[in-house]
Amino acid sequence: MDARESAAPMRRSYPEQAATAVVVCILAGVGVFLLSAALSYWANRSDLRWLCVLAGIGLWASITSVYLAAPLLGVIAILGVLRNAEQTGQHQIETQNDGWVRRTSDRLLIASALLVLVMLLPIALRIAHQWVAVWFVALALLGVQMGRVSRRLARTAGLGQSRRGVLLVGAVALILVGVGLRTTGVSRYVMQHVNDVHRTRSFAGSPAGLVQTVVVPTLDTACPSDRNVIWCSSFQLAWNEVRDTVVGAPLQVVGAEETAARLNAAKQSVADFDANSVYAAGGWIEKGICERIKKDMAAKFPSYALPDFNDYRDGILAYSYLIARVPFTYPFRQVDGGLVFGDSRGIETRVAGFGLWQAHLKAYEKIRGQIEILYVRVKDRRHSPELAEYALDLCRYSDPYQVVVARVEPRDTLAETLEHVRTQIAEFKAQPHYEEERRFSEADRLNVPEMFWRIDHRFEELIGKGVVNVGMPIVEALQTIEFRLDRSGVLLESQAMTAIASRPRRFEFNRPFLIYVQKRDATNPFFVMWVDNAELLERK
């Protein structure tokens, strides 16, 4: 044998290296993907935006590694094996070192099994749709071809496939069968959760850009028809600080007497919150209230950026901040095609949504168990099972806060609508079959639209009006509300500043509905919204 022939096996080793690189790319990519998903979950719960960015980079790096680099290296490995076989001929393969042939064949077989697995998982889990699925199918076929080349190489050299490779292929086959029978799992949850974290707001800015939404200062403010109506107690908390801490008496506001009277009479306070979720303070600017607010907020909510207080040199300043995270113990299913929301005027819009259907399946048993029906009323028990009104606690395990959604007819004010819902809940509890009726049954279905928005609202009806108590006008009455409702739970963040639902039932929140958030068992809520139209819903 001459030197050229003895060096041949070394020259032909690059298919083995390429096959090994495929395995490394897939395993490393999956590892980075899981780590990024964990970071996203942690960042979302801890409100660490920079960590979300880092997790997003890791996600795309893992996708590139698994779905671009690995298939490319697989093609190189296949071409390398076929090229060597064509150049050297069958006889030389049979007579050359069996170690190289076995190693190359084994690595191709392992890479093939892993490639088929990671390519078919998105399809089996219904994550890949339409033309994207075609790409995954093509890459899965590449994995099958790698397996065929591995088998051909081993047979040509008179070698059988290794037990390790055969066991791996069998394991992959079992996994794919299992996934095909059950279309939910960790991969689907993780990928959906990453989408949840990186979703963008449907609206952010002043309500001047909204024609079908109003923000009201109190719950008993008259609600205009055909409008979303939003109320949050953060502005009330700031008002309370001026009324109780600074002035020590109800504020008398010339030109806004009715609004001021309602704010003075409102019962909402910091007692409606867990102490770790809220901050409110007010005082004279000359006596250092701005510095006190900055110091207190830095200690209690260090990650939150305060507004600029430098424009206020003298007078009274009151500030409040609240944050309420209400994660659902078990995330709901995502409505892939969205749902149709019909507003009070009959206009229908396809929006993003979540919920639960096929609740009889064991995979959704825990999700079903977390839903509590607070009350339900049918239109006519004798002739139709159609539901007239209903209210649900989306996660009865959440503590200290709960999220209630209720489909009812609106009253003149949010307070009246809220009182109606609470009255119905109390009456429902008195029914003889309450314990059975309150459970979400296996035949029931739930659909809820998603929301993610931020509104910066100024109460113009107060700004510029004089406060008789102190002889100065109100120069700022600002409230910022950020609200998010999706399959994972609710996140409400708000600041305010004042200077001077047995038959199968369908719980479809696809018509105007009420949503409120409160401390569990508290008397007063701290966020109430009447959703009349789709202006603030996530479009699909």
Is-cis flag, bond preceding 400, omega within 30?
yes
87: Cβ contacts below 8 Å, ≥ 6 apart: none
Q: Residue 51 pLDDT more than 90?
A: no
Q: Residue 96 pLDDT more than 60?
A: no
Tallying the residues shown for the chain, one arrives at: 540
* Of 254, 255, 251, 257, nearest in space to 282 by CA: 251
H/E stretch holding 386:
strand 384-393
H/E stretch holding 39:
helix 14-46
Q: Residue 490 pLDDT more than 80?
A: yes
Distances (CA, A) of 491 to 40, 45, 135, 143: 16, 10, 36, 43
Q: Residue 245 pLDDT more than 90?
A: yes
Q: What are phi and psi of 510, to 5 degrees?
A: -105, 20
How many angstroms separate the CA atoms of 107 and 13, rounded? 12
* Of 458, 519, 467, nearest in space to 492 by CA: 519
* Of 540, 539, 525, 462, nearest in space to 497 by CA: 462
How many angstroms separate the CA atoms of 440 and 24, rounded? 46
Token representation of residue 49:
């935006």
Higher confidence at residue 160 or residue 352? 352
Q: Residue 521 pLDDT more than 90?
A: no
* Of 391, 526, 384, nearest in space to 446 by CA: 391
At 422-480, the pLDDT tens digits run 999 999 999 988 998 899 999 999 999 999 999 999 999 999 999 999 989 999 999 99
pLDDT recorded at residue 167: 55
pLDDT band at 45 (very low <50, low <70, confident <90, very high): low
- Of the chain, the end-to-end C-alpha distance in Å amounts to 69
* SS3 label, residue 334: strand
Q: Give the residue-averaged pLDDT of 101-110.
A: 72
Q: Are 108 and 149 in contact (CB under 8 A)?
A: yes
* SS3 label, residue 439: strand
415: Cβ contacts below 8 Å, ≥ 6 apart: 218, 219, 220
Bridge partners (DSSP) of residue 253 are 467
Least confident stretch, 115-119, 215-219, 374-378:
115-119
User: Average pLDDT of the chain?
Assistant: 82
How many angstroms separate the CA atoms of 335 and 343, rounded? 19
Q: Give the residue-averaged pLDDT of 103-127.
A: 70
328: Cβ contacts below 8 Å, ≥ 6 apart: 370, 394, 395, 398, 487, 488, 489
* SS3 label, residue 418: helix
pLDDT recorded at residue 260: 97
At 327-372, the pLDDT tens digits run 999 999 989 889 999 999 999 999 999 999 999 898 899 999 999 9
DSSP string, 120-141: HHHHHTT-S-THHHHHHHHHHH
Higher confidence at residue 494 or residue 538? 494
pLDDT recorded at residue 507: 84
* Of 273, 483, 446, nearest in space to 372 by CA: 446
At 262-275, the pLDDT tens digits run 999 999 999 999 99
pLDDT band at 384 (very low <50, low <70, confident <90, very high): low
Q: Are 418 and 528 in contact (CB under 8 A)?
A: yes
Q: Residue 501 pLDDT more than 70?
A: no
pLDDT band at 238 (very low <50, low <70, confident <90, very high): very high
Q: Are 474 and 260 in contact (CB under 8 A)?
A: no
CA angle 232, 249, 309 (to 5 degrees): 55
Q: Are 319 and 238 in contact (CB under 8 A)?
A: yes
Percent pLDDT > 90 in the chain is: 48
pLDDT recorded at residue 63: 83
336: Cβ contacts below 8 Å, ≥ 6 apart: 126, 129
* SS3 label, residue 195: helix
* Of 492, 530, 514, nearest in space to 222 by CA: 530
Q: Residue 29 pLDDT more than 60?
A: yes
How many angstroms separate the CA atoms of 526 and 492, rounded? 10
265: Cβ contacts below 8 Å, ≥ 6 apart: none
